[in-house]
Amino acid sequence: MKLLAGNQFLKEIFIRPLNKSFPNVFNISFAE
């Protein structure tokens, strides 16, 4: 449970802004 919450937190805070800079890389790595 804690891992899932941590991953969601990272996606919200860290990956989402990076996704704007590197959409291709992160869309492939974190496709949902």
Q: Tens of pLDDT along 1-32?
A: 566 677 788 777 777 776 676 666 655 555 55
* Torsional sign, CA 20, 24, 28, 31: positive
Residue 10: per-residue pLDDT: 75
Q: How many helices (H) and strands (E) does the chain have?
A: 3, 0
Domain membership of residue 8 as a residue range: 1-32
Closest CA to 10 of 19, 25, 22: 19
Of 15, 20, 17, 14, nearest in space to 30 by CA: 15
Q: What is the total count of domains within the chain?
A: 1
